[in-house]
């Protein structure tokens, strides 16, 4: 089964992870989640694979988070909706094998995941 990399080409860590996958000859598909927003169902599946709660996947330094969501008491469903509607909030890069996933930063987490 091919891996999937949820990739942001402008992110250095995401580019590093993709280069590592290429260098180690891993088969993978690129999911450019900024251009093709993930559905709530897709985000829920990633959360399950990661073993995360929605707030664990959120980039809390993003302006969108600070301006629209920070300090609010949001439900799991509301957080998943926020991630779906604002993909910049999603931590990256995420590598998935369909059963489990890892946020590959630092790169060592990806190396361990592939073992």
Catalytic residue among 3, 11, 34, 64: 11
The tokens 């991630």 sit on which residue? 83
What φ, ψ does residue 95 adopt, rounded to 5°?
-115, 130
- Strand order in 3-6's β-sheet? 28-31, 3-6, 94-96, 101-103
Catalytic status, residue 111: no
Residues taking part in catalysis:
11
């Amino acid at each position: 089964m091919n891996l999937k990399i949820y990739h942001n080409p402008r992110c250095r860590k995401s580019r590093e992870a993709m280069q590592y996958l290429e260098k180690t000859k891993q088969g993978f598909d690129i999911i450019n989640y900024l251009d093709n927003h993930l559905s709530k169902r897709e985000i829920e599946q990633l959360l399950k694979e990661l073993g995360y709660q929605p707030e664990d996947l959120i980039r809390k330094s993003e302006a969108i988070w600070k301006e629209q969501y920070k300090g609010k008491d949001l439900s799991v469903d509301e957080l998943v909706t926020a991630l779906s509607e604002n993909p910049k909030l999603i931590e990256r890069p995420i590598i998935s094998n369909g059963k489990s996933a890892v946020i590959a930063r630092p790169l060592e987490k990806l190396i361990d995941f592939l073992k």
